Amino acid sequence: MPKTKDLTREEVLHIAKLANLSISDESVEMYRKQLSETISYVENLDELDISNVEPTSHSTNLKNVFFKDGTKNERLFSKDEATQNAKNIKKGQFVVKRLM
């Protein structure tokens, strides 16, 4: 595996700026080494043979979890059920304090 080049000081400072982080001059060298090692480690994934792997959008066999609409929907509240424990109700609507 070819070793990638180490990050430069300027690249580390640029990454810190993108992340909105302020780092000291003493920390730049430490982060430069750590980030270079991390990039090198992640590049090991290039060695994997993924030619027989189908692309997926989920890591699990997630299926559609929505129910089909029907005549009887037991998952809905009526307006009275939804507002029965509310402190302030006006014309069947929740009343809340003004936010702005």
Q: How do the domains of the chain map onto residue ranges?
A: 9-47
pLDDT tens-digit readout, 4-28: 678 999 999 999 999 999 999 889 9
What does the buried/exposed string (b/e) look like for 24-62 if buried means 16 or more CB atoms within 10 Å of the residue's CB? eeeebeebbeeebeeeeeeeeeeeeeeeeeeeeeeeeee
Mean pLDDT, the chain, integer: 84
pLDDT tens-digit readout, 36-80: 999 998 988 888 898 898 887 777 777 776 666 665 667 778 888
pLDDT tens-digit readout, 81-96: 888 999 899 988 899 9
